[in-house]
């Protein structure tokens, strides 16, 4: 059974049209992460939540926002997608911070920007 579920799997949007990607988890993990992965590249961390505490990476553009209304759900909002934001967006969870435990990834949401 899938433990980290991302929707939609594929999203097509127009340049500048806001997009929301969702992630839900059944693991009851404290930490939820959003990564951006472009073709043939490593996942790049955008931000993470430890419980309700939000932590933004220094180089994450303001165009990217996130919400975590409860333990199970986390959303990635892209306010004005540009062509350079076309990528796979990966949600991941871990039990705690410190990077000492396994990261569980979802299947990803592939974003296309026209």
* Chain contacts with another protein (rule: CB under 8 A): 4, 6, 33, 40-43, 45, 48, 50, 55, 90, 92, 97-108, 110
- Helix, strand, coil percentages (3-state) for the chain, rounded to 5, are 5, 50, 45
Give the angle 18-20-23 at the CA atoms, nearest 5°.
Answer: 165
Please state the closest distance from residue 36 (CB atom) to another protein, in A.
Answer: 12
Please state the closest distance from residue 80 (CB atom) to another protein, in A.
Answer: 26
Question: Which CB, 9 or 17, lies closer to another protein?
Answer: 9
Question: Which CB, 80 or 102, lies closer to another protein?
Answer: 102
Tell me how far apart the alpha carbons of residues 103 and 97 are, in angstroms, rounded to a whole number: 10
């Amino acid at each position: 059974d899938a433990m980290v579920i991302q929707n939609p799997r594929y999203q097509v949007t127009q340049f500048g049209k806001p997009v929301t990607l969702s992630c839900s988890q059944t693991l009851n993990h404290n930490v939820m992460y959003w990564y951006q992965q472009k073709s043939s590249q490593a996942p790049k961390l955008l931000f993470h939540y430890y419980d309700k505490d939000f932590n933004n990476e220094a180089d994450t553009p303001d165009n990217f926002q996130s919400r975590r209304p409860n333990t199970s759900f986390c959303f990635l909002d892209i306010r004005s997608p540009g062509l350079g934001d076309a990528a796979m967006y990966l949600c991941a969870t871990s039990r705690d911070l410190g990077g000492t435990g396994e990261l569980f990834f979802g299947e990803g949401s592939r974003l296309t920007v026209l």
